[in-house]
Amino acid sequence: MARILVADDASFMRQMIREIVESEGHEVVAEASDGVEAIDQYRTHQPDVVTMDIVMPRRSGIDAVKGILELDAGACVVMCSALGQESLVTEALQAGAKDFIVKPFKPDAVIQTLGKVLEKEDL
């Protein structure tokens, strides 16, 4: 089971993701409400996976992906995007994010995407 960092500026979304991943036995080791905090929490907890919102204050999710990959080139980040953010998702994937999940979250889709990423990363 994976150790997960959940980064989203909305506590509503963090709570939803937490419940979905915990229902599958994963552990949420930390939460972050902006891009700067996401990088700090990554440094502190070294999670297996990060779920990263794109639109966040201080540093965007895409900036935070870049910051995390500077700390750990092997970091596994999954973007959380809304419909209409396709170009931002592409930018995040080019920056090194492994995959993405679309809001509103569908538990099956979240679990499936995380499972796929974890398997690929051999975690």
Partner 1 sequence: MAKYRDVFLEEATDHLAEMSRALLDLEKDPRRVEAIDVLFRMAHSIKGMAASLEYASIAEVAHLLEDRMQEIRSAARLGGPEDLALLFRGLEGLECMVAVVRETGEPPPPDPELAAALSAASAAEAETDPKKA
Phi-psi region of 75 (alpha: psi -120 to 50; beta: other; left: phi over 0): beta
How far is residue 52's CA from residue 61's CA, in Å, rounded to a whole number?
6
Q: Applying CB under 8 A, which of residues 59, 95, 105, 107 lies at the interface with partner 1?
A: 105
Q: Which residues from 32-91 bind partner 1, rule CB under 8 A? A: 55-57, 82, 84
Q: Does 104 bind partner 1 (CB under 8 A)?
A: yes
107 cis-preceded (ω within 30 degrees of 0): no
**Sequential DSSP letters for 31-67:** EESSHHHHHHHHHHH--SEEEEESS-SSS-HHHHHHH
Binding residue (CB under 8 A) for partner 1 from 9, 31, 37, 48: 9
Q: How far is the CB of 90 from partner 1 (least distance, A)?
A: 17
The residue range among 42-50, 89-97, 100-108, 113-121 that interacts with partner 1, by the rule CB under 8 A, is 100-108
> For partner 1, which residue of 5, 6, 7, 13 counts as binding (CB under 8 A)?
13
Determine the number of helices (DSSP H) and then strands (DSSP E) in the chain.
5, 5
Q: Which chain residues interact with partner 1 by CB under 8 A?
A: 9-13, 15-16, 55-57, 82, 84, 103-105
